[in-house]
Structure 1
Amino acid sequence: MTTLLKGFLASTVLTTVASVSSAVELEVTHWWTSGGEAAAVVEFANAFNATGNTWVDGAIAGSGGTARPIIISRILGGDPMHATQLNHGRQAEELVEAGLMLDLTDVAEAEGWKEIVNPSSLLDSCTVDGRIYCAPVNIHSWQWIWLSHKAFADAGVEVPGNWNEFIAAAPALEAAGKVPLAMGQQPWQTAGAFDVMTIALAGPEVWTDVVMNKNADAVQGAAYTEVFEAAATARTLAANSNVQDWNLATNLVITGQAGGQIMGDWAQGEFALAGKTAGVDYTCLPGLGVNQVISTGGDAFYFPKQDDPAIEAAQKELAALLLSPEVQVAFNLKKGSLPVRGDVDLSTANDCMQKGLEILASGAILPGSDQAFSPDTQSEIKDLMVEFWNDSTISASAAQERYADIIANAD
């Protein structure tokens, strides 16, 4: 617990919660179940357990798309967990408006979150009507392609430096028996890859006009035509990927069975767990090596309301702990994400994380799509991408037309 929060809690009757004699168990739900993710979440659990309280792990196997409906159903059904991972953005908007989430404004003020959270849009995503309802814990950027040095060496070609070079190297990879592009079949993966290609190939300004401003006319322009054609090419290159989960696709790259994978920076955790070294065993290209921009979505923890002062105090203690400097460094180094604090030392971070930190410092950042679209709109986009990636008879132009219609009606 930080000094500031100790001072805050000392002024209330809840100070006894931190003592061993009144230790509290908190059930914490999340979907961090891959090897790298599990190693990272242990850092949170260990830090909380060290306070004398107990982290009761409620990991939900599968992706966020699997976990979120379970999490939300429990909260609405009157069986809430004590803390839960969700993404920055609008996923908990209706739960907050219904009065089901704990107000963390007092913790945020005591800890000075407005001064340390960078970029400020992360805390803005936790704020409803001027009150703060979640603790942002990391910055996860989707804007990366991960390339296997072994795969390209086996194919006898240089490791690409950008998307066009990757496409040019694909025939050599296929001739060497490699899958050019690893891609899992879950909806969030194909939708995320499309978003990456959009920002890289159409450019941040066009993406912003469409996603943030909901400009459907811009979807019909030449920039988005290029993106959908690139997505059709990527669909062909990923045809023999034959895996479902994202980390299995990452493993194809780690083991040299695939040339590359478009995936967020959480893939770093899998490379690290496998003992691979950035710049030696694999290369990471932000913005597909075309537009070096990172998105600044990520994960946050919400705390469903409980009718128990002791539990509420422990919830607030955990919220503060998640943003403490030591915990931020330990967690994010293993997760592969960037810390939300702009004042911590990450000199030991690997080459890929250093690239992300440099881009973040330069200000070449964008919000995540989760911060722009409602869950309903996100579901429509994912449904379209699942159909498009799995049915080669759907042309790029037909998908572009359907996407424009979704944007025109987006909320």
Structure 2
Amino acid sequence: MNIRALTAALAATIVLPMGVAKATDLEVTHWWTSGGEAAAVAELAKAFNASGNNWVDGAIAGSGSTARPIMISRITGGDPMGATQFNHGRQAQELVEAGLMRDLTEVAEKGNWKEVIKPASLLDSCTIDGKIYCAPINIHSWQWLWLSNAAFEQAGVPVPKDWHEFVAAAPKLREAGIQPLALGGQAWQSGGLFDTLVLALGGKEVYESVYVDKDADVAAGPEMAKVFEAAAQAREMAAGSNVQDWNQATNLVITGKAGGQVMGDWAQGEFQIAGQVAGEDYSCLPGLGISPYIATGGDAFYFPVLDDEEKSKAQDVLAETMLDPKTQVAFNLKKGSLPVRGDVDLASVNDCMKKGLDIVAKGNALTSTDQALSADSQKQKEDLMTEFFSSTSLSPEDAQKRFADIISSAD
């Protein structure tokens, strides 16, 4: 027997671990690229790689509004990835209806997703015609005001307890050379700020009448007029931010250059990366300190149909891994979001996460605008808010009229 034959014979007797023998590369696209987000993604990759497969990271710099068209183009153009991020809601509905996304019902039934995922609305957003097409991975809420304790100390005013105190403190912050409100230039940021004002200042009934019931009369009414007046105040407070990305705006708060930021709970990841402690270095006010409600959305992963049996099996493993209790805790602690499972150990959560969990436990979690509005209606609203927050030439009254028109034809 020659050396080559002997080597082949010896290799044939070696038993490889099952996971390694079936290792499969799976590209996963997402738009999580900030420091806190990257740390959270690393937890997902580590858990999936531990299964013997290989996470191939397909991060797309920018935001969801930048990444989604690229993801959709690849899927519809015949170059699908193994898994891709979308927000909870209707962003992938047309792809599902076109038969381009895998049915995960069998995986979901095996993992008892209907029993463990809370609130149930998260899984409902993944369900079309009774079949489950995505794996919810976290609960995010937009309705948070993040405050720099150091900035208010420098300005000589107490850390605000609610939005009204924050607005009242803005002149003192300006006098101290501190930006009152940090706001990035991306459309979704001004849109999210506005929606937060709707729920916090308009209340639950107004929020649901406008976004869930699509009531144009309420959108044009006096309660929403108050919201637009507050938005004009926010516009004045945000003047001079001069940043583009959301995490750049968060960094202004972290460094004490800005007093506060209205941003989703994913901002917590940035504070944690910076070594700041909730309740000491920064404060967080869910519902802007006014409303006991938050609108829960978040992120989910969809799995495009692939003409590759091994990759399809790896997709199932990834979906299962994302919903594993340990993965849920590790990922969400880094991400700043809440786990979608109601049966995980949350002993290590921080002060802000406890506040969010308490609101969800009380049943005060409402439908997010991503779930209530189509992507087209969301885009129209975001375009309006971008124009409103970028120029004082658009009055609150005129903006409200245009907003009511959008709601009247929203779907």
Is the shorter-chain TM-score for this pair beyond 0.5, marking a shared fold? yes
Q: CA deviation at 1:18?
A: 6.1
Aligned to 2:297, the other structure's residue is in SS state: coil
| Contact 1:17–1:314 (Cα < 8 Å) also in 2 | no
Q: Which residue of 2 aligns with 1:210?
A: 210
Larger radius of gyration: 2
Q: Which residue of 1 aligns with 2:386?
A: 386
Q: CA deviation at 1:145?
A: 0.4
Superposition pairs for residues 10-409 of structure 1, below 5 Å? 19-409=19-409
Q: Which amino acid aligns with 2:245?
A: D
- Give me the identity figure in percent: 65
| Contact 1:18–1:53 (Cα < 8 Å) also in 2 | no
Q: CA deviation at 1:391?
A: 1.0
Q: Which amino acid aligns with 2:344?
A: V
Q: CA deviation at 1:19?
A: 2.4
Aligned to 1:296, the other structure's residue is in SS state: strand
| Contact 1:17–1:310 (Cα < 8 Å) also in 2 | no
Aligned to 2:58, the other structure's residue is in SS state: strand
Aligned to 1:346, the other structure's residue is in SS state: coil
Aligned to 1:300, the other structure's residue is in SS state: strand
Q: Deviations over 1:49-90 (max 9, x none)?
A: 011100000000000000000000000000000100100100
Q: CA deviation at 1:243?
A: 0.2
Q: Which amino acid aligns with 1:196?
A: T
TM-score (norm: length of structure 2): 0.95
Q: Which amino acid aligns with 1:56?
A: V
Q: CA deviation at 1:17?
A: 11
Aligned to 1:19, the other structure's residue is in SS state: helix
Q: CA deviation at 1:340?
A: 0.2
Segments of 4+ moved more than 4 angstroms:
none
| Equivalent-residue separation in structure 1 for 2:380 and 2:19 (angstroms) | 48
Assess, with a 3 A threshold, how the Cα gap between structure 1 residues 246 and 17 changes in structure 2: closer, same or farther.
Answer: farther
| Equivalent-residue separation in structure 2 for 1:48 and 1:22 (angstroms) | 13
Q: CA deviation at 1:385?
A: 0.5
| Contact 1:183–1:190 (Cα < 8 Å) also in 2 | yes
Q: Which amino acid aligns with 2:255?
A: T
Q: CA deviation at 1:28?
A: 0.2
Aligned to 1:243, the other structure's residue is in SS state: coil
Q: Deviations over 1:99-128 (max 9, x none)?
A: 000110000000000000000000000001
Aligned to 2:283, the other structure's residue is in SS state: strand
| Contact 1:144–1:284 (Cα < 8 Å) also in 2 | yes
Q: CA deviation at 1:302?
A: 0.3
Q: Deviations over 1:299-347 (max 9, x none)?
A: 0000000011111111001001100000000000000000000001111
Q: Which amino acid aligns with 1:404?
A: A
Q: Which amino acid aligns with 1:362?
A: K
| Equivalent-residue separation in structure 1 for 2:277 and 2:176 (angstroms) | 24
Q: Which residue of 2 aligns with 1:12?
A: none
| Contact 1:17–1:23 (Cα < 8 Å) also in 2 | no
Unpaired segments ≥5 residues, structure 1: 1-15
Aligned to 2:140, the other structure's residue is in SS state: coil
Unpaired segments ≥5 residues, structure 2: 1-15
| Equivalent-residue separation in structure 2 for 1:366 and 1:22 (angstroms) | 42
Q: Which amino acid aligns with 1:351?
A: D
| Equivalent-residue separation in structure 1 for 2:285 and 2:206 (angstroms) | 21
